Structure 1
C-alpha cells in the first residue's frame, strides 16, 4: 500500500475529465425495483460528531491465525472501549461481486510478495471469504454500537482477479451486487454512507477509470484521437479541464445509478489533496470526506524516508530531526492546516453538506519501530481535531490513519484514545 508514492506517480493524471451522461453502464435504471423503506442512519442527518476509525481492508486480510484481527469481536469491542462509535471500512465489493457469467467466487487467496514491513493489509499470504466475513463482521459492529461507512480501494490485493477492474461498468455492478447482498441479509440498517471509491479519482484499483483519465491527460491529443467526442465548455480551477469534467460526470452518473436502486442510502466519493477542492462537483454527493495531513505540506523533514520503511536507514536520526523541524515550524504548519480545514468546511457548507476526515492528520504512513515513536501522530490529531471542531458541519472525524490493532504502539494507549474520542464527540 505505497499510497504516497502512488499519488506522486498518478498526480499528473489528476485534474479533470469529460464524459456524456450515458457513460455509466451496468445498471438499467428503468428496470430496477425499489427497495423497501429501511431504518437507516444517513450521514447527512448526524447530529453529534462521530469518532470514526480509519479501518481499511486489514479487518479481513489480517483475520487469520496470528493476525491482529484474528478475533473480530475482541477488536471491535476494543474499538468501542477506546470511544470510537463509527468505522470506515473496505467492504471489498470487487470480491463480493460475481463474474460476468454470474458465478460467485467464495474464496480468494491474497499473496504476500515481499517481507517489507506492512502497514495495512495482509502481512502473510492468506485466503479470505468476503461474503461470509461480512455476515459475521457487520453484526458485531452493530452489537458494540459502531456505525459503519462502507468504502473501497477496489484493489486486486494480489488475488489474480482482474475481470472487474477493467470492466467499464464494473464499479456500479460491484456496488449493486454487494449492497443487494447486504440488503438480502438485513445488514443495511447500521450503514451511514457508501464511499464509492477511496481518494477518487486515482488512488484505487479500478483500472478502467484510470485508463480513461490517462487518455485525457493531453487535451489536444484527445481531440485528435476522438474527433466525434462531445466537448462541452470546460473549466477547471487547477486541474486538466478535460479530466476534471470526466471524473465529475462519472461520479455523478455512478451515484445517480446507485440512488435509483438504493434510495435510502447516501453516497459520495472521498478525496485527498491530489484533487483541488475547487474542481470537485458535489452536486450528487451526500458528504465531503477530504483527507489531509501535515505531510501534504511536502516540508516535513525526513517524512518520506521514514514512510519508505527502508530498514537500512538510521531512523533514530530521522525521528529526532523530524521533531526538531516540527518544533521550529509548528506555528506555520498549524496555520497551513487551519486554512485547509477551513476550506474543506466552507466547500461543504456552500453545498449544504456535512463534512469530515476519515484519514489524517500528521503522517500518512508511520509504523511501530524501536527507533520511532507516536508522539507526533498524537499531537497532530489533538491539534487538528480542535481545528475541525470549530466547524459545526464537521460530523465525522478520525484520530489518525493508525486506529488498527496492528499499530500496537498507538493502539495500546487506551487512555489517549478515550481522551481524543471524547473531544471529538463532545
Structure 2
C-alpha cells in the first residue's frame, strides 16, 4: 500500500491551472500576479493546484528559456476557445517563473501536482516552433522515459531551492492516451494497453531518482475496457471523468472532431453560430503560424465553432437535448468514479480526479456553471469523497482563466464538502 507522505494534505481540493499560469502572465491576464491568484484560490477553499510545469522544455529540450516568448495562436484564431484564449504576448524567464510559482504556492500553503501538456498544447503558444520540434525529435518509444527524467530533473531543481516539499505528485504527462505520445503504436488494442510498457518505463525512470515522490499516470476519461493496461509500478492514479453525454451528441452531430471539409455549415448556422460567422474555410491560422495547429490536438472545426458560436445558442442546444442523457450522464459519472477508486484499491495507491465533469465547451458557454452543470459538480465531488479519493476538483472550469472562477459560492460549497469542513 502506497501511503500519502505525512507532509501532504489528506485530501486535495484542486484547481486546474494547466499551462495558463505561464502563457497568461501579460497585462490584465489572470496570472499576471501569482500571489493574488493563490490568495484567491485559498480563499475559495482550495489547497492544491495542478499545472503543466513544462519539464521537457526546462530540463531536456536544450532550449534557452531565459527569455521565453509566448503569444496567442495568431490573430483572432482561438480567441474565444477555452484554454486557448491568450490575449497578451509575454516574455518570461521560464525557470525563474517556475521558482516564483512554487515560492508563491509555498507561501500560501498550496500543494502542487506537476504534469506536462507538452505533447498536447503547451508549445503552440511559443512564438517559434523550436519547443515543438524538440519534443517531436524524441523517438516516440522514448518520450515517456524522457518525460519521467525531466520530472526528476524538476524535483532536483526544486530541492536545490528548498521547495521539493511543495510537490504533491508528478505525472509524466497529461492524458497519456490522447495526443502525440501514442505515435508509433500498433493500433491493434486500445492505446491505454499499448502504452503500458512506455509508461512503466517513464515511471521507473522517475522513481529511480525520487522514490519518495508519488508518480501517477494520467488518463483522459476512465478507460473501463482497458484498465488492465494501467502501469503496475504507479504509486498514484489520476483520471479525468469527462462524461460528455449530451455534449457528445453535439460534437458528433456537427462533426467538430472530423475533417472540416465535411462540416455541416447550414445546420451549424441555424443551431449554433453567430450571424456574422465567416464560412469555415475562411477561418484558419495565418500561414506563418500553421505549425501551431500541429502542436495542438484540437481540430479546426472545433476551434471554428468555439470561436464563432453564439454561446446562448450553444447552451440552449445542450439544454434542449439534455433530458435524453440525464440518467446516463449521472450513471457514467458514478460508475467511472467507482471504477477508478476500485482499481486504485487493487493497486494499493491513492487516486485523484484532476479534471472533469461534462466536457470541452466554448469559453463563453455557461452550461457547466448553470443548474445542470453545477449539480453535476456537487454530485461528482460528493462521490469522490464517498469513494475515498485523495483529490478532486470542483470542475475543470473552476480556475482563474475561466469565468466559473467568479462563482465563489459553488466553489466554497464543494471544497468544504470534500475537505469535510
Which residue does 1:210 correspond to in 2?
182
CA RMSD of aligned residues (A): 2.8
Whether the aligned pair in 2 keeps the contact of 1:151 and 1:196 (CA below 8 Å) is yes
Whether the aligned pair in 2 keeps the contact of 1:95 and 1:130 (CA below 8 Å) is no
Residue 299 of structure 1 and its aligned partner are, at CA, apart by 4.5
Residue 355 of structure 1 and its aligned partner are, at CA, apart by 1.1
Distance 1:296 1:327 in 2: 10
2:123 aligned residue (134, 149, 156): 156
Distance 2:8 2:158 in 1: 22
More displaced, 114-123 or 90-99? Answer: 114-123
The 1:172–1:336 alpha-carbon spacing in structure 2 relative to 1, beyond 3 Å, is: closer
1:255 aligned residue (190, 200, 203): 203
Residue 108 of structure 1 and its aligned partner are, at CA, apart by 1.8
Residue 425 of structure 1 and its aligned partner are, at CA, apart by 0.8
Structure 1 residue matching 2:399: 3-state secondary structure: coil
Distance 2:394 2:367 in 1: 19
Residue 151 of structure 1 and its aligned partner are, at CA, apart by 0.7
Which residue does 1:347 correspond to in 2?
343
**Structure 2 residue 91 is the aligned partner of structure 1 residue 127:** yes
Whether the aligned pair in 2 keeps the contact of 1:58 and 1:120 (CA below 8 Å) is yes
Alignment of structure 1 residues 215-226 onto 2, 5 Å:
216-217=186-187
Alignment of structure 1 residues 330-369 onto 2, 5 Å:
330-368=326-364
Distance 1:373 1:328 in 2: 17
Residue 260 of structure 1 and its aligned partner are, at CA, apart by 1.4
The 1:300–1:96 alpha-carbon spacing in structure 2 relative to 1, beyond 3 Å, is: same
Residue 187 of structure 1 and its aligned partner are, at CA, apart by 1.4
Which of structures 1 and 2 has the larger relative contact order (alpha carbons within 8 angstroms, sep 6+)? Answer: 1
**Structure 2 residue 374 is the aligned partner of structure 1 residue 402:** no
Residue 166 of structure 1 and its aligned partner are, at CA, apart by 2.1
Which residue does 1:94 correspond to in 2?
56
Deviation per CA, 1:160-190: give whole Å up to 9, x if none.
2222442245324432332222221121111
**Greater fraction helix:** 2
Distance 2:221 2:344 in 1: 15
Structure 2 residue matching 1:55: 3-state secondary structure: strand
What is the TM-score normalised by the length of structure 1? 0.75
Aligned length: 353
Which residue does 1:53 correspond to in 2?
15
What is the TM-score normalised by the length of structure 2? 0.75
Which residue does 2:65 correspond to in 1?
105
2:27 aligned residue (65, 77, 92): 65
Which residue does 2:275 correspond to in 1?
none
Distance 1:361 1:133 in 2: 30
Whether the aligned pair in 1 keeps the contact of 2:203 and 2:215 (CA below 8 Å) is yes
Which residue does 2:236 correspond to in 1?
287
Deviation per CA, 1:38-68: give whole Å up to 9, x if none.
xxx9469967322111120101111111211
Structure 2, unpaired ranges of 5+? 257-267, 273-301
Which residue does 1:13 correspond to in 2?
none
